[in-house]
Chains A and B, each alone.
Chain A
Amino acid sequence: MNPRVLTQADQIAIVTRRRLSDKVFRAILIFGGTTSFFVLLAIFLYLVQRSAPVLREFGLGFATNSIWYSGDGFPASQGSSDPANFGLFPMAYGTLLVALIAMVIAVPISVMLALGISYYMPKRVSAAVTFIVDLAASIPSVVFGLWGLFILVPHARYWAQLLNRYLDWIPIFDVTFPSFDQSPFVAGLVLALMITPIVTSISREIFSQTPLELIQGAYALGATRAAMIRNIVLPFGRGGVVGGAMLGLGRAMGETVAVFFVLQLFYDQTNWFRILESQGGNVASLIVARYGEATEFELAGLFGAGLVLFILTLGANLVASSIISRTTKKKRVSKK
């Protein structure tokens, strides 16, 4: 009996033949892979459709005006005597300001803490700290709001008054009226504590992937721990740290209830930089504050606010992923 010799054509057929199960499996995976795109598209389209009356009425003014007045519930174009007028600028700017304060506080602490966990603490301590960080990441935002309103605000008032009394020659610590309770500063503190665990755990994960040979090489060359971190760990993990920070930024901008309780909203005035003043803006808080009693036209305005928030956070993510992809590309080149 002659064993059948495989021809080359047979071999190719064996290698390339796709079974039906694989085709079905792939189709299912492709379906799963594209879900996120369709969800995002649906969010965008629905928000545009629902906010269309307001966008048509005010155009670009919706994003640049500083007013939020529902009047008798109808716009001027429908012959209203007490026309509704919506402009989102103070809210949108306030969202950025608060998120920025949170980032300035949280990112340095997170990076240092992540370095500490990966390279400084003894093994048991670092395991315990990692556990605490991950546990802190799961503290619900409404608990932060509760804590911020009843516990943090009285303390923050004291320190804010202090900063204001001695440092009011620095513009950001100046106030126009002496009320310090629900300021962007307090909201920024709460958000900073919220996003620190997120940024920390992502940075830590990236740092722990630093190739061991490089670290050992640096030590073999006589580097101190700080020199090793500066020259090996940080360049290696830069993209990841920026990515984690941007993730934190997105979370900070979209955070709702924690900020809702610790920030006083001013609809018709922009608080440019006085971070200690009890006056700020936040798109997400605006939606929670107004949606309960909104007329149909104002509801369209709130959908518009949601759309603006959606675009803001999407923009932050876009910037983040472009930075990350650029740094990782650079890393790949330098590795060769």
Chain B
Amino acid sequence: MIDKVEIQKPWREQSPKRVATAISPALIPILVASILVKTTGLDGKLGFVFSWVLASTVTIVIWPVVIKKRASRGDLFMQTSVVFAGGIFLGAVAWLFQSVLAPGLRAFRFSLLVKDAATVGVDTPLDQGGLLHAILGSLVIVGLATLISVPFGILAALYITEVRGRLVPFTRFFIQAMSGVPSIVAGLFIYAALIVSKVLPFTGLTGSLALAILMLPTVARTAEEVIRLVPDELRYAALALGGTQMRTVLQVVLPSARTGLITATILGIARVAGETAPLLLTAFGSNTTNLNPFSGTMATLPWYIFTQMTLGTENDVARAWVAALVLMVIVAMFFVLARTLGKSKMARR
């Protein structure tokens, strides 16, 4: 028997000194700039950015001179770039979250969650009506889209990984191409094929179909990747035990990829939950609660945000912020749920 060897990952080890040398070239200019703005005549955003750019340039010129070895210079440059990139992205995301959540929370009233907008006109005060119709509509439409697209997505992934036939390169190519279909084009297609042709009127179902088109490639690609990670040994073992290909796939391959398949589904939901453009052309929107996706137009949260924004009055925009808050909370909840589900499944195995 081979003793279990712990895998060495030396790059994961960070001494405090390394961390300090990595962060300081990014931090020092910010510090210098803030001190300059506070103490000297420079002021405001312009002064800060000006002195920051100056200080960064000086630091970037001087820092490598202090370090003697050429290799370390390259290493340090890379570290600094990584710190910069992380800082910019995290800063932007934090700003976005803060600026969406703050006005949303300010305008938030519990009554908004339990009433629909049947009695709401333009610029109605916030204590009347709400966005229940949009929340329920979103759940129904996205749920239906998930039911339509996930089976097809997993089938496509299984075709690529299990059948491995001659059409595999083409299938991958077309899934790749389909992932590039813009959301508005998916909406236009359903609009042209079903609504203009009078096959179906504006309903929740047409909205779900448009979203399913957008969801399918995301699900298929992610599912393909996770099914590919299932070791071939498992397949051989199942086949050697006399399993047919169907049993192998259904009882061995899919269960061992279960966590990944949940992730694939969630990624698909996250991809379409906020889609607005196709719903403008298909589910159309409504001011009353409609839970039946097969008849009548249906409101959705993204559509609600869109229309409230275009109305533009103070109370309507406040409603849009609340709806954005609710939409983001719902999406985040799904996301966290998927994460914890996946993790606990993995731990049990």
Contacts and interface: CB of A to CB of B under 8 A. Distances in A.
A37 B170 contact: yes
Contact of B246 (A21, A158, A229, A320): A21
A225 interface: yes
A120 B82 contact: yes
Contact of B270 (A24, A113, A137): A137
Nearest to A95: B182
Interface string B139-183: 000000000000110111011101101011011011111111111
Interface string B249-289: 10000000000000000000011011111001100000000
Given A140-B327, A142-B276, A226-B75, A250 B188 contact: no
B75 A40 contact: no
A141 B275 contact: yes
B92 A19 contact: no
Contacts of B14: 122
Contacts of B20: none
Given A284-B182, A316-B180, A317-B177, A36 B171 contact: yes
Interface residues of B, number: 98
B96 interface: yes
Interface string A111-130: 11101100111110000010
Contact of B184 (A119, A146, A287): A287
Contacts of B8: 216
Secondary structure of the B side of the interface? Answer: helix
B156 A227 contact: no
Nearest to A31: B155
A29 B12 CA distance: 42
A76 interface: no
B298 interface: no
B176 A303 contact: no
B332 A138 contact: yes
A87 interface: no
Contact of A141 (B189, B274, B317): B274
A12 to B, nearest CB: 16
Interface in A301-325: 302-303, 306, 309-310, 313-314, 316-318, 320-321
Contact of A140 (B74, B186, B192, B275): B275
A72 B305 CA distance: 33
Contacts of A228: 11
A139 B332 CA distance: 9
Nearest to B274: A140
B277 A113 contact: no
Nearest to A254: B182
Interface string A279-315: 0000010011001000000010011001001100110
Contact of A162 (B46, B88, B163, B167): B46
Contact of B11 (A109, A111, A219): A219
Given A33-B167, A147-B99, A138 B90 contact: no
A257 B279 CA distance: 11
Contacts of A134: 335
Contact of B159 (A22, A32, A288): A32
Given A147-B100, A212-B7, A257-B276, A29 B155 contact: yes
B183 A40 contact: no
A16 B255 CA distance: 26
A253 B193 CA distance: 23
A13 B89 CA distance: 60
A34 interface: yes
Interface stretch (A3-11, A43-51, A78-86, A180-188): A43-51
B163 A26 contact: yes
B54 interface: no
Contact of A112 (B84, B171, B181, B335): B84
Given A129-B86, A193-B92, A254-B181, 17 more contacts: A28-B155, A32-B152, A36-B175, A36-B178, A43-B213, A47-B189, A112-B84, A112-B85, A121-B86, A122-B12, A135-B332, A138-B332, A139-B274, A151-B96, A287-B277, A313-B182, A317-B176
In the A-B complex, the 7 residue pairs with the smallest Cβ-Cβ separation, listed nearest first, are: A140-B274, A254-B182, A32-B155, A33-B159, A112-B85, A138-B270, A250-B180
